[in-house]
């Protein structure tokens, strides 16, 4: 034990320069769908993920993409809804269904020994869902109840108000309407599935222990299909600049969302834009968090992030604040944006954010399932094999003047779409 440790000097910090990244190349093909593999036999589990361009952006009716996805497990091929959940749970497996704006995914996680019992089920779920009327009625009944609870949350209401104001009528707008949900028919689901769950548009990601075996079972049980029917485009996009305020009686906190368009990952400004966002609200030490939470205590948390959709990127600031701090929070957000536009960031802060970003990248590449998920992102967004290495190099090259230029070019407080849901909107402290 050495008692003479000098605690007043911080240990030296080393920069991360090397990233271990899996190669984003498909190693096989399943009736038109590229197959990507991250094998690691030190894992106990294997994961198979199918990704389809069947997100909410492809919907022709409200909540259609979500309903189609949720109903996949409610009867497929010769399996009933109960049989599907019983077999899945009997083998201790997870079958996860996810729906985003662009994509829908169906994944299976299980012990490799159980693949032979579960892959046939997965294939039926993806390719031969029956959408039985009885289960669909039950699903609608349960979902309607959940929608109603969600619509009581300021956070969800604000999300919808923001979406309406920002996306307008384009394909990325959220349609979260219990009445429209009631209008959904079984036939809508059948058509949506036929149009959007084709292998020719799908990608398959297999990761963990037993990927070779998984691939063999997939080839055995997944059948060729007839291909996709059609694709809708993004449509009009003219975000509203008028602040959307929705009153919710008795709300102790107000939810706030502010957003604006952002450059895509391929854009030359993206690395500097990424750092600018991080400085503003992208981590715990960010200016918004330090000012509004750590200095003023108006909120439990505030953050800003960049959302990358296939055909649109946008930056989003969101928080829930004590009702009486609503106005003050908006002023502070504006103050922090103005500060970015008028003052050069100091090297001290910029270097910290660069190192933090490198550490975050390292974390997002750690572990087999994370690597498979990264491959998915690289494939869907058509990023090159060297993308992340080059991104890190560009991040390290960003100067304070670049941040200032990005802030003045993109961060105009008057060009944000703003939505607020809460009881009031007064100046009182």
Contact present, 423 and 247 (Cβ < 8 Å): yes
Q: What is the DSSP string of 164-194?
A: HHHHTTSTTS----HHHHHT--HHHHHHHHH
Considering only 130, 253, 276, 318, the residue that binds another protein (CB under 8 A) is 253
Q: Which of residues 291-320 bind another protein (CB under 8 A)?
A: 293-300, 320
Does the protein bind another protein through residue 230 (CB under 8 A)?
no
Residue 395 CA to residue 360 CA, distance in Å, equals 13
Going by C-alpha positions, the residue among 233, 275, 244 that lies closest to residue 360 is 275
Size of residue set near another protein by CB under 8 A: 73
Does the protein bind another protein through residue 261 (CB under 8 A)?
no
Does the protein bind another protein through residue 132 (CB under 8 A)?
no
Contact present, 280 and 286 (Cβ < 8 Å): yes
Residue 31 CA to residue 217 CA, distance in Å, equals 14
Least Å from the CB of residue 51 to another protein: 20
Least Å from the CB of residue 330 to another protein: 16
By beta-carbon proximity to another protein, the closer residue of 283 and 387 is 283
Considering only 33, 67, 99, 154, the residue that binds another protein (CB under 8 A) is 154
Torsion angle (degrees, nearest 10) of CA 101, 102, 106, 108: -90
Considering only 27, 169, 229, 252, the residue that binds another protein (CB under 8 A) is 252
Gyration radius from the chain CA atoms: 24
Q: What phi and psi values does residue 411 have, to the nearest 5 degrees? A: -90, 70
Least Å from the CB of residue 414 to another protein: 28
Among the candidate windows 41-49, 197-205, 212-220, 412-420, which touches another protein by CB under 8 A?
41-49
Contact present, 106 and 72 (Cβ < 8 Å): yes
Does the protein bind another protein through residue 149 (CB under 8 A)?
yes
Considering only 70, 358, 381, 389, the residue that binds another protein (CB under 8 A) is 358
Does the protein bind another protein through residue 148 (CB under 8 A)?
yes
Q: Which of residues 71-100 bind another protein (CB under 8 A)?
A: 81-82, 85-86, 88-94
By beta-carbon proximity to another protein, the closer residue of 61 and 153 is 153
Provide the H-helix boundaries in 278-367: 287-288, 326-342, 347-364
Least Å from the CB of residue 218 to another protein: 20
By beta-carbon proximity to another protein, the closer residue of 88 and 228 is 88
Does the protein bind another protein through residue 216 (CB under 8 A)?
no
Does the protein bind another protein through residue 233 (CB under 8 A)?
no
* 426 DSSP 8-state letter: -
Considering only 70, 308, 355, 377, the residue that binds another protein (CB under 8 A) is 355
Does the protein bind another protein through residue 415 (CB under 8 A)?
no
Residue 329 CA to residue 153 CA, distance in Å, equals 20
| Residue span 320-339 as binding mask against another protein, x where in contact by CB under 8 A, dash where not | xxx-----------------
Does the protein bind another protein through residue 130 (CB under 8 A)?
no
Residue 402 CA to residue 356 CA, distance in Å, equals 18
Least Å from the CB of residue 227 to another protein: 32
> Beta strand 33-39 with 203-208: parallel, antiparallel or unpaired?
parallel
Does the protein bind another protein through residue 363 (CB under 8 A)?
yes
> Beta strand 33-39 with 299-308: parallel, antiparallel or unpaired?
unpaired
Among the candidate windows 13-21, 22-30, 217-225, 261-269, which touches another protein by CB under 8 A?
13-21
Considering only 5, 226, 242, 268, the residue that binds another protein (CB under 8 A) is 5
Least Å from the CB of residue 232 to another protein: 32
Write the CA distances from 26 to 117, 128, 390, integer angstroms: 26, 25, 21
Q: What is the distance between the terminal CA atoms of the chain, rounded to a whole angstrom?
A: 53
Contact present, 309 and 316 (Cβ < 8 Å): no
Does the protein bind another protein through residue 396 (CB under 8 A)?
no
CA angle 54, 68, 318 (to 5 degrees): 65
Give Cβ neighbours of residue 9 (< 8 Å, ≥ 6 apart): none
Least Å from the CB of residue 174 to another protein: 19
Does the protein bind another protein through residue 68 (CB under 8 A)?
no
Does the protein bind another protein through residue 378 (CB under 8 A)?
no
* 365 DSSP 8-state letter: T
Least Å from the CB of residue 43 to another protein: 8
Does the protein bind another protein through residue 360 (CB under 8 A)?
yes
Contact present, 246 and 161 (Cβ < 8 Å): yes
Residue 335 CA to residue 213 CA, distance in Å, equals 57
Among the candidate windows 53-61, 123-131, 245-253, 390-398, which touches another protein by CB under 8 A?
245-253
């Amino acid at each position: 034990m050495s008692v003479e440790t000098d605690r007043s000097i911080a240990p030296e910090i080393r920069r991360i320069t090397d990233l271990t990244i899996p190669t984003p190349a498909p190693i096989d093909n399943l009736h038109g769908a590229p197959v990507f593999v991250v094998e690691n036999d030190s894992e106990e589990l294997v994961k198979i993920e199918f990704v389809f361009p069947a997100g909410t952006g492809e919907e022709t009716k409200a909540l259609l993409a979500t309903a189609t996805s949720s109903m996949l497990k409610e009867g497929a091929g010769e399996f009933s809804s109960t049989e599907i959940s019983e077999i899945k749970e009997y083998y201790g497996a997870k079958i996860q269904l996810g729906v985003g704006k662009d994509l829908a995914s169906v994944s299976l996680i299980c012990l490799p020994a159980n693949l032979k019992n579960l892959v046939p089920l997965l294939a039926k779920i993806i390719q031969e869902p029956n959408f039985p009327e009885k289960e669909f009625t039950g699903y609608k009944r349960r979902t309607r109840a959940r929608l109603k609870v969600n619509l009581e949350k300021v956070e969800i209401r604000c999300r919808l108000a923001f979406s309406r104001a920002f996306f307008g009528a384009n394909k990325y707008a959220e349609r979260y309407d219990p009445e429209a949900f009631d209008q959904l028919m079984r036939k809508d689901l059948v058509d949506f599935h036929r149009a959007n769950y084709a292998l020719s548009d799908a990608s398959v990601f297999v990761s963990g222990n037993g990927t070779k075996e998984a691939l063999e079972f997939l080839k055995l049980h997944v059948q060729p299909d007839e291909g996709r029917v059609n694709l809708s485009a993004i449509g009009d996009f003219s975000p509203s600049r008028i602040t959307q305020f929705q009153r919710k009686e008795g709300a102790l906190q107000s939810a706030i969302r502010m957003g604006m368009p952002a450059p895509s990952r391929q854009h030359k400004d993206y690395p500097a834009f990424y750092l600018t966002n991080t400085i503003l609200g992208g981590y715990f030490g960010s200016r918004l968090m330090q000012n509004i939470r750590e200095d003023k205590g108006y909120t439990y948390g505030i953050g800003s992030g960049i959302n990358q959709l296939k055909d649109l990127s946008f930056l989003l600031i969101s928080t829930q604040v004590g009702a009486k701090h609503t106005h003050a929070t908006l002023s502070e957000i504006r103050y922090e944006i103005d500060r970015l536009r008028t003052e050069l960031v100091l090297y001290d802060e910029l270097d910290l954010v660069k190192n933090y970003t490198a550490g975050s990248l390292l974390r997002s590449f750690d572990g087999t399932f994370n690597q498979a998920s990264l491959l998915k992102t690289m494939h869907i967004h058509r990023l090159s094999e060297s993308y992340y290495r080059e991104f890190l190099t560009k991040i390290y090259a960003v100067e304070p003047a670049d941040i200032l230029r990005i802030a003045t070019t993109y961060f105009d407080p008057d060009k944000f779409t703003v939505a607020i849901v809460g009881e009031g909107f007064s100046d009182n402290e």
